[in-house]
Amino acid sequence: MLHPTAIVSSKARLGHNAKIAPYTIIYDNVIIGDNTTIDSH
**CB-based contact 6:23 (threshold 8 Å):** yes
Which residues have C-beta within 8 Å of that of residue 33, sequence separation ≥ 6? 15, 18
Cα 9 from Cα 28, distance rounded (Å): 5
**Is 2's pLDDT higher than 90?**
yes
Band of residue 40 on the pLDDT scale cut at 50, 70, 90: confident
pLDDT of residue 5: 96
Neighbours of 30 (CB within 10 A): 14
Amino acid at 36: T
pLDDT in tens, 3-33: 999 999 999 999 999 999 999 999 999 999 9
